[in-house]
Amino acid sequence: MAVIAAGRRKRGAAKRLADLAAYMLLGLGGVIMAVPFLWMLATSLKPDGELYSYPPEWIGSRLAWENYRIIFEEAHLIRGFFNTMIVVVPTLIIGLFVCAMSAYAFAKLRFPGRDKLFMLLIGTMVVPGAVMMIPAFIMFKTFGWTDSWKPLIIPGMFGAPMVIFFLRQFIKTLPDELEDAAKIDGMSPPGIFLRIIVPLTKPALITQGILSFNAGYNDYLGPLIYLNSPERYTLQLELASFSSYYGTEWTLVMAGAVVALIPTLVLFAFAQRFFIEGIALTGIKA
């Protein structure tokens, strides 16, 4: 018994050491990831003349809060934020619902050519976006959609192959018995989708919603191609035009970047539990 107890103590000590090493490694990685953001915040609060001081200093001689006042007066960040929401929110809500319906069809419904159609959909993921850029611009210009939000909103409402793929993998992990029991009770496929699949898929939907929001919120190339009027500029275009206007005044640019970062931090703070759960539960199931 003493030998068994000693072996258990050794295994417990080894496990604690392994956990400690893992936490230290994760903590070090977290610090490394946080340093650029902390430097961005510190730079945004420096007077412009102290930016290139040597040796570099984290904190300037004073906190230059006027940098934030200047960016709100000159960069039209509020207008850019609302323009971004006009582009992102309809695409996010409608596009995510369409992706969920498509994922349910590919995961649970049986119809001729389902697997081949899904493989064709997956094949579109390997096509570089640069290849589609010029044909898409010509098509939207023919439609008369340039210098408007339509090219940024309408295509996204029809879903994204990557989102459909991950939602399908999540839905395939749900027991088929739930669907069979609903069918026995007389529920139709739309009813099964709305009353059973959607509630159970909430973590994956929130996860993909956060990722899709970040992608649309930080999109720079799309608005740059299709928008010409300053009053329609999204937040990223406002920051870009602000940077080119002020040249090397990086304190103002960093202040704008800090302000633009706040909505994504708030979103993740409220949805991080579902985000982590969705990442953990989304498996790769054939």
Note the pLDDT of residue 285. Answer: 44
More confident residue, 260 or 53: 260
Residues 60, 50: Cα–Cα separation, whole Å: 7
Note the pLDDT of residue 4. Answer: 59
Q: Would you state the structure tokens that stand for residue 266, as one six-digit string?
A: 């708030």
Residues 112, 253: Cα–Cα separation, whole Å: 54
Q: Which amino acid, 171?
A: I
- What's the N-to-C CA distance of the chain in angstroms? 47
Residues 168, 118: Cα–Cα separation, whole Å: 10
**For 127-166, what is each residue's pLDDT tens digit?**
887 888 888 899 999 998 888 889 999 988 887 888 888 8
Q: Which CATH number fits domain 74-281: 3.30.565.10, 3.40.190.290, 3.40.140.10, 1.10.3720.10?
A: 1.10.3720.10
What residue spans define the domains of the chain? Answer: 2-44, 74-281
| pTM: predicted TM-score of the whole model, two decimal places | 0.77
Residue 5 has pLDDT above 60, yes or no: no
More confident residue, 281 or 235: 235
Residues 106, 193: Cα–Cα separation, whole Å: 12
What is the pLDDT confidence band of residue 79, given thresholds at 50, 70 and 90?
confident
Q: Is the peptide bond before 55 cis (omega within 30 degrees of 0)?
A: yes
Residues 50, 112: Cα–Cα separation, whole Å: 67
Note the pLDDT of residue 284. Answer: 44
What is the pLDDT confidence band of residue 240, given thresholds at 50, 70 and 90?
confident
Cβ 53 vs Cβ 46: under 8 Å? no
Residues 271, 227: Cα–Cα separation, whole Å: 31
What is the pLDDT confidence band of residue 283, given thresholds at 50, 70 and 90?
very low
**For 12-23, what is each residue's pLDDT tens digit?**
677 888 888 888
Picking from 6-15, 136-145, 169-178, 197-206, which range would have the lowest pLDDT averaged per residue?
A: 6-15
Region 95-110 average pLDDT:
89
Note the pLDDT of residue 9. Answer: 65
Residue 99 has pLDDT above 80, yes or no: yes
Residues 47, 216: Cα–Cα separation, whole Å: 32
Region 176-200 average pLDDT:
84
Q: Would you state the structure tokens that stand for residue 21, as one six-digit string?
A: 């090493």
Rg (CA), the chain: 25
The residue among 228, 219, 220, 215 whose CA lies nearest residue 141 is 228
Helix 250-281 to helix 2-44 angle (10° resolution) is 150
Question: What mean pLDDT, rounded, does the chain reach?
Answer: 82
Cβ 282 vs Cβ 207: under 8 Å? yes
Residues 276, 269: Cα–Cα separation, whole Å: 11
Residue 246 has pLDDT above 60, yes or no: no
Cβ 204 vs Cβ 167: under 8 Å? yes
Note the pLDDT of residue 250. Answer: 79
Residue 109 DSSP one-character state: -
Region 198-207 average pLDDT:
86
Note the pLDDT of residue 83. Answer: 92
DSSP of 267-282 = HHHHHHHHHHHHHHH-
